[in-house]
Amino acid sequence: MDIAINLIINGLATGMLLFLLAAGLTLIFGLMHVLNFAHGGLFVWGAYAGVWFYLWTGSFLAGLLGACSAGLLLGLIMERLIIQPVYGDSTRQILITLGVMLVLSEMVKVVWGPNQISVPTLNLLEGSWRIGEIVLIKYRIFVIAAGALVFALLQWLLKKTRVGLIIRAGVIHREMVESLGINVKRYFLLVFVLGAVLAALAGMLFAPYSGVIYAEMGMEYAILAFIVVVVGGLGSVSGSAMAAVMVGLSSAFMNYFLPDAALAVNMLLMAAVLLFKPSGLFGARG
Amino acid sequence: MNGCNRPIWGGTLMLLEVKGIHTMIGRFHILQGVSFGVPRGEVTVLLGRNGAGKTTTIRSIMGLSPVVRGEVRFEGEQIQSLPTHVIARKGIGYVPEDMGIFGDLTVEENLKVAMGRDDPAVSDRLAWILELFPDLKVYWRRKGGQLSGGQKQMLSIARAFIQNRSLLLIDEPSKGLAPIMVDKMVEGIRQIKERTTILLVEQNFSMAQAVGDRFVILDGGRCVHTGPMDALKEEKELQRRYLGIA
């Protein structure tokens, strides 16, 4: 029983990190119809920039702010210089964003070296709470809480503000939003930068969770994030949250009981959704 | 003389002037020099068989299908190379064939997307629209995707008209509707006509006759006839040849 509860907590923590990565990805695809394969690169850069600030200042908060700033800056540059010229051309988008993913991963090695970097957990969140036989690792509970907070903030943005209303409408029928006199391209930049910041934040939160960061982790987690986006339904933030929890739990349990098949099971889940419900389990309706 | 190429350009009464527009969709040359005018304060109906280019014409006016040659003038100003949102802000509302409902948004939210910031004139227009289409008030909190076809059409027209529009482009409002809903739609368009100019695409000839002041017949991507609707009622040969009415 205690193993199951620990696995559930691990799964929820992984799920929340995946949600942060997938939320931006799903909105970017839903509104802009851009499959951003460079999203994993933003995750890596968030982790490295955040950890650099964290180790330099000794403040985890400074690390989080550093990661978000890196995401903001990279998001702005990418949308304006790289994504905007290839709107509406999916083949070029895939090739160019894959290329950017590789460049971002390699640039990390140029700036911070090729070796992985160890990341300590901040003192306040080190250790665990014990309830009977159940051990609750503090940092994992923190990650779950942070993910839930971001989810709540995103829900507020999307459901309670005019900007959110237009983003939701644009995901369903972009042409119609333009026909109502709204410049949708202004919202493209906002959504892309928001997605980049969330990916970078996920990278920073991941660093103490894993204890180590490395350049290739972007691709590994981007694959899981794509699975989450497809299972949750392209364009649906709530769907991504639910799918992220499913994929996180599945990864936690499979990694414990049958580690070699962990990724394969999630891939099969994605294939089944694509075959039987291509709009995703929780996709937005047109 | 079919009336399509009359020198209407620069005429003071024309709100919209379409002059020799060509539009490609992929490799296909859909509009091959369409010309006609839409007089202010009237309902002009675009008629023609399937594939004649009616929908492409209003999408071209709206900037959704790029015009490769020719001119579209709205209140005397060229608009054919402007982005869609700028064209809309100049005062053109659009109701697409698929109605463009935001299915996961409520009726209220669908209207709020179009309403913009708080404006007393928009609130007044909303009150008038809800009187015209009371179903929208009844289903205020229902999601757009859960409405009937007729209710979706009402919502789409209301949304396009909630801002001050001097021209409404409406694509096949009677399509797929039950006869009782078509009657409601005819009544709705008659009321809206009192407040704005309308360019209507319609396959249902009886609806076109009921609301239209003028007609434009398209065939093979060209305007082949235009004139007052009353004159078309007598033109059995035109009706047979271009509209398939026996």
Distance from A175 to chain B by nearest Cα, in Å?
8
Q: What is the pLDDT of residue A283?
A: 65
Give the least confident one: A24-28, A76-80, B55-59: A24-28
Find, among B41, B32, B34, B44, the residue nearest to B2 by Cα.
B34
Q: Give the model confidence (pLDDT) of A215-255 as tens digits.
A: 999 988 899 999 999 989 888 889 999 999 999 999 999 98
- Tokens, residue A251: 């990864």
Is a pLDDT exceeding 60 seen at residue B31?
yes
Distance from B161 to chain A by nearest Cα, in Å?
10
Q: Which fold has domain B14-100+164-243?
A: Rossmann fold (3.40.50)
Domain residue extents for chain B: 14-100+164-243
Distance from B163 to chain A by nearest Cα, in Å?
9
* 8 Å CB contact between A193 and A72: yes
| Residue of A178, A179, A182, A236 to mutate when probing chain B, most B C-beta within 10 A | A179
Contact: A180, B89; criterion CB under 8 Å? no
List of residues 6+ apart from A212 with CB closer than 8 A: A116, A117, A118, A119
- Domains located in chain A, CATH noted: 2-276 (1.10.3470)
pLDDT band at A75, cuts 50/70/90? very high
* 8 Å CB contact between A36 and A25: yes
Give the integer Cα–Cα distance in Å for B92 and B42: 15
Amino acid at B234: E
* Chain A residue nearest residue B115, CA to CA: A180
Is a pLDDT exceeding 60 seen at residue B10?
no
DSSP E strands in chain B: the ranges are: 14-25, 28-39, 43-47, 67-74, 77-78, 92-95, 167-171, 197-201, 214-219, 222-228
- Tokens, residue A232: 């949750």
How many residue pairs from chains A and B have C-beta atoms closer than 8 A?
Answer: 70
Name the phi and psi angles at A212, rounded to 5.
-155, 145
Q: Give the model confidence (pLDDT) of A252-277 as tens digits.
A: 999 899 888 888 888 898 888 888 88
Q: Give the model confidence (pLDDT) of B118-136 as tens digits.
A: 778 888 999 999 999 999 9
Which residues in chain B have their CB less than 8 angstroms from residue A184's CB?
85
pLDDT band at B85, cuts 50/70/90? very high
Q: Give the model confidence (pLDDT) of B172-218 as tens digits.
A: 998 888 888 888 889 999 999 999 999 999 988 889 999 999 999 99
Contact: B64, A172; criterion CB under 8 Å? no
Give the integer Cα–Cα distance in Å for A196 and A191: 9
Residue with tokens 């894959």: A98
- Tokens, residue A154: 């995103």
* Chain A residue nearest residue B62, CA to CA: A179
Contact: B84, A178; criterion CB under 8 Å? yes
Between β-strands B167-171 and B197-201, what pairing exists: parallel, antiparallel or unpaired?
parallel
Mean pLDDT along residues A22-27: 89
Contact: B100, A168; criterion CB under 8 Å? no
Contact: A286, B103; criterion CB under 8 Å? yes
Q: Give helix A2-32 / helix A138-160 axis angle, nearest 10°.
A: 30
